[in-house]
Amino acid sequence: MNLRPMNDGLFAEVGEKFVKIWDSKDKNNKVKFSLEEATIENFFPNDYVVARNTEGVVQIWNISTEECVASFNDVSSVINITSNGHAVCIGNDRDIKIWDIDKGELVNHYLDEAVLGFSSEGHVISRSGDGVLRIRDISMIGN
């Protein structure tokens, strides 16, 4: 069992095909979200799940509404959602794409850059092909 803390005394139980949100105060299951045709790759405490379907398409699901809010082809394993839930960063060893989840639009596309990591404040740390390190702030997208 994989338990992850959330806000307001909630925690999530995350499995390969499901997410359950529990209230630690009354010990009740508040939300049960499951997928039949996809595998959950990551869970974010702002109600989003990143899953990959059987065709390799990465999908971002809002577990409260049970809606797929975005889907992406040609994605490697580097995916992060800002804490405000408005932007997603998808990267591999050759490019970075920043998407506005609310609008479903590509905001920025950085070629010849590799994602090195993310900060909890909404920064993307990357390295360009010529070795330059960059920190990009994506926390303001959607605000």
Q: Return the sign of the alpha-carbon dihedral for residues 6, 120, 126, 62.
A: positive
- At 7 the pLDDT is 65
The answer to whether 47 and 80 are in contact (CB under 8 A) is no
Q: Rounded mean pLDDT of the chain?
A: 79
What value, to the nearest 5°, has the Cα angle with vertex 65 and ends 51 and 57? 20
The answer to whether 40 and 15 are in contact (CB under 8 A) is yes
Check whether 14 has a pLDDT greater than 70: yes
- At 1 the pLDDT is 59
- Look up the pTM and report it: 0.67
Check whether 78 has a pLDDT greater than 70: no
Query: Nearest Cα to 58, choosing from 36, 45, 43, 40?
Result: 40
